[in-house]
Amino acid sequence: MKRTKQQLQVIFQNFAERECRGKSPLYYQLAQAVAQEPYLLELAKHARARQPAPNLFFGAVHYLLLLDSSQRLAQHYPSICKEVSKEIPLALFLDFCKKKEAEIIHLLRDRIVQTNAINRTAYLMPIASSIFEDSSDLNLIDIGCSSGLNLNFDQYQYHYKGHGIIGEGNVRISTDILEGTLPPFSAIVNVNQKIGIDQNPLDLEIAENANWLKALIWPDLLERFERMEAAIRLAKTSSLSLLKASQISDFREVIDSIPQAEPLLVYHTHVLYQFSKTERLAFRALIDEIGVKRDLLYLAVEGFSIFDEILPLPKGVQIVASQYHGGIKTVRHFGQTDGHATWIRWK
């Protein structure tokens, strides 16, 4: 069901206060302004139901500016002009939205928020490298992969502030270790197959998809924007297999395609909250069933409530691995992080 203007007003105000404050001064100011602007709220009503309207709406405008940087409004987007900007003037924003109304409505109806947060590899890489240290050629299956950029975690360079740099390459991952130490390993694991599954995989060979991914990044988070551009360039030369699928039976088929004797990591990051409880339980039951027949590591990084049925965990995003070896399952809580892995507390 479409949201009302009044509901959207509250949604934009909450977005400003809860998500942007202290992180994105530009969207903080803009979201507050949009919440008071009837025409823009009316326009945002076209966002698909169950999608976060502010992310989708601001993403649509950012997308159109990335396509045409000659627009005056683009000069207020650091992602485009590469300069610091103090504010996005509402009058200019409003003007642009009126001019591009039809294109914005089309994007709001057509697209979904599918941010691929590459910094999340800050925990994927060390856990995989530590557990599979003695194996060669690890196979990866990323459930809910978006554009599959996290499958390239073996190709990135990791800056663990105060704890050194690991790896090479132009994609710079950076995080704070607030507690504990990295799981031990001597080298980044070698990866064989990289398979991503998504209900709507974003093929980066299609320029619009790459632009949409960039557009979802908040324009004043320049480091994140540049990381995304570098990761997209690398993905175009990598061998990622992205599959369109969303059912438990599809997941089973893909997992079964990996020979039993080969090492396998199945993971998802920030995906299971989009499953119904029934789907979530069925997915876990599938992994347990497969784990009786073959060895694998299943890594889940999700908000704490997603783990309610298996482990009582404190609030926040939790990193939980289930290792299946010789038919025996061992669950390990690796630690806690934030949504974009800007910090990690290792257990």
Ligand X SMILES: C[S@@+](CC[C@H](N)C(=O)[O-])C[C@H]1O[C@@H](n2cnc3c(N)ncnc32)[C@H](O)[C@@H]1O
Nearer to ligand X, 67 or 112 (CB): 112
Q: Specify the stretch interacting with ligand X by CB under 6 A; choose among 64-72, 81-89, 143-151, 171-179.
A: 143-151
C-alpha dihedral, 56 to 60 to 66 to 72, nearest 10°: -120
Instruction: Please state, in angstroms and as integers, the Cα–Cα distance from residue 129 to each residue in 86, 154, 179, 180, 232, following that order.
Output: 42, 9, 20, 17, 23
Distance CA 61, CA 146 (A): 21
Binding mask 162-201 for ligand X (x = CB under 6 A): -----------------------------------xxxx-
Q: Can residue 246 be called a binding residue for ligand X (CB under 6 A)?
A: yes
Count Cβ atoms below 10 Å from residue 205 Cβ, excluding itself: 8
Which residues are CB-neighbours of 53 under 8 A, at least 6 positions away? 3, 8, 11, 12, 44, 47
Least spacing, CB of residue 317 vs ligand X, in Å: 11
Nearer to ligand X, 198 or 295 (CB): 198
CB 149 within 8 A of CB 195: no
Least spacing, CB of residue 82 vs ligand X, in Å: 25
Least spacing, CB of residue 347 vs ligand X, in Å: 21
C-alpha dihedral, 321 to 249 to 150 to 224, nearest 10°: -100
3-state secondary structure of 155: helix
Which one among 119, 269, 318, 337 touches ligand X, defined by CB under 6 A? Answer: 269
CB 150 within 8 A of CB 168: no
Least spacing, CB of residue 254 vs ligand X, in Å: 11
Q: Specify the stretch interacting with ligand X by CB under 6 A; choose among 15-23, 72-80, 225-233, 263-271.
A: 263-271
Give the burial class of 330: count Cβ atoms within 10 A of its Cβ; 0-12 exposed, 13-18 middle, 19 or more buried.
exposed
Q: Nearest CA to 269 among 189, 175, 343, 341?
A: 341
- Strand-pair partners of 172: 157
With CB under 6 A as the rule, give the number of residues binding ligand X: 19
Q: Can residue 155 be called a binding residue for ligand X (CB under 6 A)?
A: no
Nearer to ligand X, 52 or 78 (CB): 52
Least spacing, CB of residue 306 vs ligand X, in Å: 13
Q: Specify the stretch interacting with ligand X by CB under 6 A; choose among 142-150, 156-164, 185-193, 302-310.
A: 142-150
Which one among 24, 71, 114, 318 touches ligand X, defined by CB under 6 A? Answer: 114
Least spacing, CB of residue 36 vs ligand X, in Å: 29
Which one among 108, 271, 287, 321 touches ligand X, defined by CB under 6 A? Answer: 271
Q: Nearest CA to 244 among 298, 210, 196?
A: 196
Q: Can residue 241 be called a binding residue for ligand X (CB under 6 A)?
A: no
Name the closest residue to ligand X (Cβ): 144
Site for ligand X, rule CB under 6 A:
114-117, 120, 144-146, 150, 197-200, 246, 269-271, 274-275
